[in-house]
Amino acid sequence: MSETITATDEFRRHHGDRYEAPHTSQTVRREYGRIRPWYETMALKGGLRPEQAMAARELDMLWHVVHDATGIVGAYGDQRWNGTPIGQTTAFRLLGPEWKSTCRVKLADAAAGLDDTAWKCLVLCIEHNESAEAVGRRLGYRSKAQEVASRVIRDALHALARQWGYFRAFGDP
């Protein structure tokens, strides 16, 4: 079975630059297309520094462990049972109720360390897997939606990267 499942034109139009087509090379073997998570898209476009992307990935994983842990799996490019994409996680960390309570505490600490607008931006990014412009429009910004939301998201992820120890001592956000 060497055929792949291809996405429809409507699906590609709807997801735009977040859609990754099936690809096979020496380093990648992706038989199916996938939707890139919001933080990967922002990092590829140059909107996030590496430590901010690591904090975003951690936050995304924590959120889905606490709110939607039923379909989390461990391989790259896999999807939850409802079809939404997830990042790479390790299965041994998801075993047992203590892991879920640890994630809940870490998520509460993250929410407490951010202001309401920043937390709302990050939650919208995670829940809807949307671009910064779409998140800015959901928050009510019209003309400068992408600029304002991108700044809020970067600042929030910078604060989380500092809080979780991902931030390097040199350089500005």
Residue 39: is it exposed, middle or buried by C-beta count within 10 angstroms (0-12/13-18/19+)?
buried
Mean pLDDT of 139-163: 88
Spell out where 34-159 has E strands. 34-35
**CA 15 vs CA 37, 84, 107, 143, 146: distances in Å:** 11, 12, 28, 22, 17
Q: Are 61 and 82 in contact (CB under 8 A)?
A: no
How far apart (Å, rounded) are the C-alpha atoms in residues 71 and 79?
A: 7
Instruction: Calculate what percentage of the chain has a pLDDT beyond 70.
Output: 65
- Report the 10 Å Cβ neighbour count for 162: 14
pTM for this prediction: 0.69
The answer on pLDDT for 73 being more than 70 is: no
CA distance 125 to 153: 9
Give the least confident one: 51-55, 79-83, 96-100, 102-106. Answer: 79-83
Helix (H, G, I), strand (E, B) or coil at 51: helix
